[in-house]
Chains A and B, each alone.
Chain A
Amino acid sequence: MADLLHDSLVYLGAAVVCVPIAKRSGLGSVLGYLIAGWLIGPWGLKLIGEVESTLHFAEFGVVLMLFLIGLELELKRLVEMRRAVFGGGSLQMTACGTVLALGLMALGLTWQAAAAAGMALALSSTAIAVQTMNERNLMTAPVGHSSFAVLLFQDIAAIPLIALVPFLGAAGGEGGAGWLGAAKAIAAIAGVVVIGRFLTRPLMRLIAKSEVREIFTAFALLLVIGIAQLMAGAGLSMALGAFLAGVLLASSEYRHALESDIAPFKGLLLGLFFIAVGMSIDFGEVIARPGLLTLLVVGLLTIKATVLALIAPRLEVPRSERWLFAALLAQAGEFAFVVFGVAREAQVLARDWEGLLTAAVALSMAATPLLLIAFDRLTSRRAQTQREADTIDDDSAPVIIAGMGRYGQIVGRVLWAQGIHITVLDHDPDQIDTLRRFGYKVFYGDATRLDLLTAAGAAKAKLLVVAIDDVADSLALVDLAQESFPNLAIVARARNVRHWLELADRGVTAIEREAFESSLKSARAALTVLGVEPYEAREIAEAFRRQNVITLNALLPHFRDEAKTVAIARSGREELEENLRRDREARQQARGSGWH
């Protein structure tokens, strides 16, 4: 326990010091973590000894990351992506793998070793690439789509690759276990589908109703860990299983709640993963064979980047982003560590080459942020002569509706009918069930939580409709939105005059009192029944509304002062009655004049 706390202290301390500095100086968070790892690892201050087990544990960060990516990706979109994934991904793997293997053979490796290592190096680092794309808001850009498709294929391809490497060895594979293995794999995937599609939602509904927040978080983690274990037990990729579960839950109302609960764990574990990669860079190899290692790193990055840039047009990467695509995916990834380990055990790869290649992979990962900085430098010079032509391709909804009761529903239906996409937040599981039956996309959660609001896309949305019942929650949400998302426009529902004043005092301009307009309509209907003509009834209601709003605005500067409020409200009412009386007289005088 003391060890765990000590290690945590070191990891967290190093991250807190290094990452903000790296980010500030434009190096990006990934490089910050890697530097932190190097600092505290065996080649730095030697504060941490256990590199391999940390790396293994921290790989769970990658699992959580893929779960979150899955949550962002509905099944429909995944199916739409299949050509990019299988066509583009396999093209990248064969092209990069072949050239890299040939290069390694030229360095004196046997064809078996070169094939295994070449394919392993063709895999990119999902962790580094995705984290970098997130940091640069590239996930929804065309280059992000293509990169992600390639990474997804690599995650799928890594499994057979790891399974096939032993067959290259002198010892050969065990064989025979194929049938059983395949059956286990199919059963595990079926298990994930059943859990993700049928079990999770009723369970989460039950847990949400218990209203114990931390149990919801616990359940979210349990879900991902459980699926990861199930997949690992069947010899499949944990990350792939988590991704699949995420996709299955992407259309569920708990998507944003899951996202906001899992995201902090993902962030920390992914950070730990990068730290572990930093620690595992073997500077012994660097010192012993600097020339060969430099050749390996530079060769790896050059070959991969060139091949990627060449095949980029086939993957529908825009011309101007070809080299960005290449820089994002040029590094080798975490799967390479595993493949090298397996290859050494199967006597395909010599021990000294394993160490050398592992160091090269880690250094290539560390080089990614530097490559991107180089790309930025090159393009910013070009950008001065060339206007930015990027289209903002963002599939997040422009409107968030908090509270989908009777009020929010009308607002939502009007917008929806105009083809405007809306994200709905509500915290009543029963209400959500009803709404979903009518085909709405509704998410469970407390809208006054910053993380949930962020997960719902508040940073990119144009408009927040505050239609929740509870006055205190409504005001808390407005405060939160104004503080954290100052560009987000607000349309608010006021329960009563007091609520209207509180909202107006916060600078909200689009406020409607929930019963005011409908009451005026009833007043008009009453006047019509009593013989007033419909159009005149409308004018009377308009005059009343105008006068009433004037009174409200007069109250605004003083509404926290009870006595003054009462006085103004009373004089306001008198003034209103006086004005309406004058209006009535004017109308009577108008009889016979003007209109004929």
Chain B
Amino acid sequence: MIALIYAHPYPARSRANRVLLEAARGVPSVIVRSLYDNYPDFEIDVAAERKLLLESQLIVWQHPLMWYSAPALQKLWFDTVLANGWATGEGGTALEGKTCLWVTTTGAASAGYTPGGVHGFPFAAFVPVMEMTARYCGMHWLPPLVVHGAHQIADAALQQHAAQYRQRLLSFAAEAAGG
């Protein structure tokens, strides 16, 4: 099973993320958990979230990038669900051996992510926080899927990303079923 943890405060207002999500939703073993729809008051049901993670081999974090990081509710999800003693620390082995995929969109074009650009660093400089969150829990880290310039991106380019996303999920599911 694939757990898709989706964190967008206004899903209906999104373009890029909605297209990506629709592509992923079609994959048979994907379960989408939209955090802002399920927990508008930020009262995350930790037990339910953990149950879903335990049943899944692949965990996908999909959200728009906000302030170089995840939206607030996704961050709260990290803090409460991936707690010490469950996902980390003594006895915290629940996620060991699982695989993690980060799917995110940025507002600025990739050109902004250069030493001279508006964001001052290459995008790779913003990845380690997410990557280490997964690896600290003992998960395998897949190369992230990043859609830059989500405001202006042409439909065709966006559809290409979506198809690639779908393909990666499908092949993971097939691999999991076969192996």
**Which residues of A come within 8 Å of B, CB atoms?**
524, 533-538, 590-596
Contacts and interface: CB of A to CB of B under 8 A. Distances in A.
Contact of B40 (A538, A590, A594): A538
Nearest to A521: B41
B13 interface: yes
Contacts of A590: 10, 13
A535 B40 contact: yes
Nearest to A590: B13
Given A596-B107, A596-B150, A534 B37 contact: yes
Given A533-B37, A535-B37, A596 B64 contact: yes
Nearest to B152: A596
Contacts of B105: 596
B150 A535 contact: no
A592 B105 CA distance: 13
B37 A596 contact: no
B12 interface: yes
B17 interface: yes
Contact of A535 (B36, B66, B106, B107): B36
Contact of B8 (A537, A538, A591, A595): A595
Interface residues of B, number: 22
Contact of B14 (A535, A538, A596): A596
A538 B106 CA distance: 26
Contacts of B107: 594, 596
B75 interface: no
A590 to B, nearest CB: 7
B36 A595 contact: no
Nearest to B147: A596
B116 to A, nearest CB: 24
9 contacts: A534-B40, A536-B9, A537-B40, A595-B14, A596-B14, A596-B64, A596-B105, A596-B106, A596-B107
Given A538-B41, A592-B151, A596-B150, A533 B64 contact: no
Interface string B1-24: 000000011111111110000000
Contact of A534 (B13, B15, B36, B64): B36
Contact of A596 (B36, B38, B151): B151
Interface string B43-78: 000000000000000000000101000000000000
Nearest to B149: A596
Given A595-B64, A596-B107, A535 B17 contact: no
A538 B151 CA distance: 26
B64 to A, nearest CB: 5
Contacts of A536: 9-10
Given A536-B9, A595-B66, 14 more contacts: A524-B40, A533-B11, A535-B9, A537-B40, A538-B41, A590-B10, A591-B13, A595-B9, A595-B10, A595-B13, A596-B14, A596-B15, A596-B105, A596-B107
Q: Which of A536, A590, A594, A595 has the most CB of B within 10 A?
A: A595
B13 A592 contact: yes
Which 10 pairs show the lowest CB-CB distances between chains A and B? A596-B150, A534-B40, A535-B36, A535-B40, A538-B40, A596-B64, A596-B16, A596-B105, A591-B13, A534-B37
Q: Which of A591, A593, A594, A596 has the most CB of B within 10 A?
A: A596
A535 B76 CA distance: 15
A591 B11 CA distance: 11
A537 B37 CA distance: 10
Interface of B: 8-17, 36-38, 40-41, 64, 66, 105-107, 150-151
A596 B17 contact: yes
Contacts of A591: 13
A539 to B, nearest CB: 9
Nearest to B18: A596
A536 B41 CA distance: 11
Contacts of B106: 596
Contacts of B14: 595-596
Nearest to A531: B12
A586 B11 CA distance: 17
Contacts of B10: 533, 535-536, 590, 595
Nearest to B73: A535
A596 B38 CA distance: 20
A533 B151 contact: no
A536 B11 CA distance: 10
A402 B36 CA distance: 38
Nearest to A532: B12
A595 B37 CA distance: 16
B72 to A, nearest CB: 11
Contacts of B9: 535-536, 595
A537 B16 CA distance: 22
B15 A592 contact: yes
Contacts of B41: 538
A594 to B, nearest CB: 8
Nearest to A534: B40
Contacts of B36: 533-535
Contacts of A533: 10-12, 36-37
A31 to B, nearest CB: 61
A28 to B, nearest CB: 56
Contacts of B37: 533-535
Nearest to A593: B151
B22 to A, nearest CB: 15
Nearest to B66: A595
Nearest to B105: A596
Contacts of A537: 40
A533 B105 CA distance: 21
Nearest to A537: B40
B76 to A, nearest CB: 13
Contacts of A535: 9-10, 36-37, 40
A529 to B, nearest CB: 14
B38 to A, nearest CB: 8
Nearest to A536: B10
B123 to A, nearest CB: 15
A68 to B, nearest CB: 47
A591 B36 CA distance: 17
Q: Which of A535, A538, A590 has the most CB of B within 10 A?
A: A535
Contacts of B64: 595-596
Nearest to A591: B13
Contacts of B12: 533
A434 to B, nearest CB: 30
A596 B161 CA distance: 15
Contacts of B17: 596
B161 to A, nearest CB: 12
A565 B66 CA distance: 44
Nearest to B9: A535
A538 B8 CA distance: 14
A537 B12 CA distance: 13
Nearest to A533: B12
B141 to A, nearest CB: 24
B74 to A, nearest CB: 13
A338 to B, nearest CB: 67
